Amino acid sequence: MPEKPNPFEELDELIERMNDQFGELSQTFEGGSVLSEISVDVADTGEEIVVTADLPGFAEEDIDLRADEDSVTLSAEAETETVDDDAHYHRKERSHQSVSRRVPLPEAVDAASATASYTNGVLTVTLPKLDPDAPGGHEIDVE
């Protein structure tokens, strides 16, 4: 049976293009460090989908990661401030970074079994694929 087309796929692509354009626009403004887009790779290893994302400058606790059967949503927010208590400031700059991106997945995955690791600014999310031949639902024993 052919797979049903996703009616929202074109809308998701439009939103991604708009995010790209607004990200480019934000880079033209003067200011602190701004990470406007999360760069991702989506790989199919056969048994699982692996999403790798660059999130430099964020700590592990700054990252919010959510997954469902057909997408992964990455977001991160960090605020840093360097303060010297003995200094008289003429100018003090603070840094605030906030990024978010929804990544559509090429196949259905088991979001509950997903794992993630974060090392040296690179987030790796491993999502096992759902077995397309497996019956839907969860078997319940009757006593």
Taking only the tens place, the pLDDT of each residue in 104-132 is 999 999 988 899 999 999 999 999 998 76
Look up residue 63 and give its DSSP letter.
Answer: E
Classify residue 115: in a domain, yes or no: yes
Mean of pLDDT values over 70-85? 79
**Coil, helix or strand at residue 79:** strand
Q: What is the pTM of this model?
A: 0.62
Mean pLDDT score, 5-14: 78
Q: Which residue has the higher pLDDT, 11 or 89?
A: 11
Give 66 or 18, the one with higher predicted confidence.
66
48: confidence class by pLDDT, cuts 50, 70, 90: very high
101, part of any domain: yes
Q: Which residue has better confidence, 86 or 54?
A: 54
Report yes or no on 136 lying in a domain: no
CATH of the domain at 74: 2.60.40.790
For residue 134, tell me if it sits in a domain.
no
3-class SS at 105? coil
124 in any annotated domain:
yes
* Mean pLDDT over each residue of the chain, to the nearest integer: 78
What local confidence, expressed as pLDDT, does residue 34 receive?
44
What span, in angstroms and rounded, lies between the C-alpha atoms of 67 and 113? 10
Residue 60 falls within a domain, yes or no? yes
Structural domain containing residue 108: 9-128
Q: Domain total for the chain?
A: 1
pLDDT at 141: 55
Asked whether 42 and 51 are in contact (CB, 8 A), the reply is yes
Report strand pairing: 95-104 vs 115-119.
Answer: unpaired
pLDDT band at 140, cuts 50/70/90?
very low
